[in-house]
Structure 1
Amino acid sequence: MAVAEDVAEESTRAGPAGTAEGTRRRPGRSSALPVLLAIDALAAALAAGGVLLLSHRWFVPAVFVPLWLLFLTSQRMYGPDAHADRLRPVLRATCVAAAAAGTAWLFAPRDDLLHDALIALLLAAALTLGLRRCRRARTCSGSGRIGNAERVLVLGPAESAAELLAALRRGRSPGPQVVAVCLTGPAAPGSDADVPGEAVDLLKTVRRTRCDAVIALPGPELGAERLRRLSWELRAAGVDLLLAPVLADVTPGRLAVRPVAGVPLLQLRAPRLSTRSRVPKELTDRLLALLGILLLAPLMAAIAVWVRLDSPGPSFYRERRIGRDGREFTLLKFRSMHRGAELLKPGLAHLNRYGCDRFFKIADDPRVTRAGSFLRSSSLDELPQLFNVVAGHMSLVGPRPLVKDEVARLSEDGGHRLLVKPGMSGLWQVSGRSCLPTDERDRLDVSYVENWSPALDLSILLRTPSAVVRRTGAC
Structure 2
Amino acid sequence: MGQAVRQPGAILLDLNARVDERRATDRSRSQRLLQLGIAAGDVIVILAATVLAGLRHIDVPVLPVTNDVNTLALSVGPWVILAWMLANVVRGTYTKAHLGVGTVEYARVLGAAGLTAGAIGIASYLTKFELSRGFFVLLFLVGVPGLLVWRWSARRLVHGLHHRGHLLTKVIISGSESRIDEVASVLRREKWLGFTIIGALVPASRPVKATPGGVPVLGFTNETASNALASEADLVLFTEGSFPSAVDFRRIAWDLEGHDVQMAVVPSLSDISSGRMAMHPVGGLPLVHVEPPQSLAASRGLKRMFDVVGAGVALVLASPVMIVFALLTKLQDRGPILFRQTRVGRDGELFECLKFRSMVVDAEARLSGISHLNKNAEGVLFKAEHDPRITRVGAIMRRFSIDELPQLINVINGDMSLVGPRPALPAEVRRYETDVQRRLHVRPGLTGLWQVSGRSDLSWEDTVRLDLYYVDNWSIVQDLTILARTVHAVFASNGAY
Q: Shared topology, TM-score over 0.5?
A: yes
Alpha-carbon separation, structure 1, partners of 2:87 and 2:189 = 34
- The one of 300, 313, 330 aligned to 1:308: 330
- Cα displacement string for residues 368-404 of structure 1 (whole angstroms, at most 9, x for unaligned residues): 2221121112211000000000001111111111111
User: Which residue number corresponds to residue 94 of structure 2?
Assistant: 135
Alpha-carbon separation, structure 2, partners of 1:280 and 1:139 = 28
Contact 2:211–2:217 (8 Å) recurs in 1: no
- The one of 22, 25, 28 aligned to 1:27: 25
Structure 2 CA distance for partners of 1:323 and 1:233, relative to 1, 3 Å: same
Structure 2 CA distance for partners of 1:237 and 1:23, relative to 1, 3 Å: farther
Paired residues for 1:367-446 under 5 Å:
367-446=389-468
- The one of 158, 182, 187 aligned to 1:163: 182
- Cα displacement string for residues 327-361 of structure 1 (whole angstroms, at most 9, x for unaligned residues): 11111001111122211111211121212572222
- The one of 169, 173, 180 aligned to 1:154: 173
Paired residues for 1:337-376 under 5 Å:
337-356=359-378, 358-376=380-398
User: Which residue number corresponds to residue 183 of structure 1?
Assistant: 202
The one-letter amino acid paired with 2:25 is: P
Structure 2 CA distance for partners of 1:180 and 1:187, relative to 1, 3 Å: closer
- Secondary structure of the residue aligned to 2:463 is helix
2:486 is aligned with 1:464: yes
Paired residues for 1:19-418 under 5 Å:
24-25=20-21, 26-27=24-25, 127=86, 130=89, 133-136=92-95, 140-141=99-100, 150-171=169-190, 173-184=192-203, 185=206, 190-196=212-218, 201-219=223-241, 222-235=244-257, 237=259, 239-275=261-297, 278-356=300-378, 358-418=380-440
The one-letter amino acid paired with 1:161 is: I
Alpha-carbon separation, structure 1, partners of 2:234 and 2:379 = 47
TM-score when scaled to structure 1? 0.69
- Secondary structure of the residue aligned to 2:200 is strand
Q: Shift of the alpha carbon at 1:301?
A: 2.2
Question: Which piece of structure 1 moves more, 23-32 or 315-324?
Answer: 23-32
- Secondary structure of the residue aligned to 2:292 is coil
Identity level (%): 36
The one-letter amino acid paired with 1:252 is: S
Structure 2 CA distance for partners of 1:187 and 1:284, relative to 1, 3 Å: farther
User: Which residue number corresponds to residue 46 of structure 1?
Assistant: none
- Secondary structure of the residue aligned to 1:256 is strand
Q: Shift of the alpha carbon at 1:427?
A: 1.2
The one-letter amino acid paired with 1:218 is: E
Contact 1:434–1:473 (8 Å) recurs in 2: yes
Contact 1:149–1:212 (8 Å) recurs in 2: no
| Root-mean-square deviation (Å) | 3.7
Alpha-carbon separation, structure 1, partners of 2:493 and 2:178 = 34
Unaligned segments of structure 2, at least 5 residues: 1-12, 37-81, 101-154, 162-166
Contact 1:337–1:372 (8 Å) recurs in 2: yes
Contact 1:159–1:188 (8 Å) recurs in 2: no
TM-score when scaled to structure 2? 0.66
User: Which residue number corresponds to residue 69 of structure 1?
Assistant: none
Q: Shift of the alpha carbon at 1:263?
A: 2.2
- Cα displacement string for residues 192-238 of structure 1 (whole angstroms, at most 9, x for unaligned residues): 31135889843332122222332100138643333232222222545
Contact 1:163–1:248 (8 Å) recurs in 2: no
- Secondary structure of the residue aligned to 1:362 is coil
Alpha-carbon separation, structure 2, partners of 1:210 and 1:245 = 24
Alpha-carbon separation, structure 2, partners of 1:132 and 1:428 = 32
- Secondary structure of the residue aligned to 1:133 is coil
Alpha-carbon separation, structure 2, partners of 1:343 and 1:299 = 30
- Cα displacement string for residues 403-459 of structure 1 (whole angstroms, at most 9, x for unaligned residues): 112223223332221111111111111111111111111111111112221121111
The one-letter amino acid paired with 2:374 is: N
Contact 1:167–1:249 (8 Å) recurs in 2: no
- Secondary structure of the residue aligned to 1:345 is helix
Structure 2 CA distance for partners of 1:386 and 1:236, relative to 1, 3 Å: same
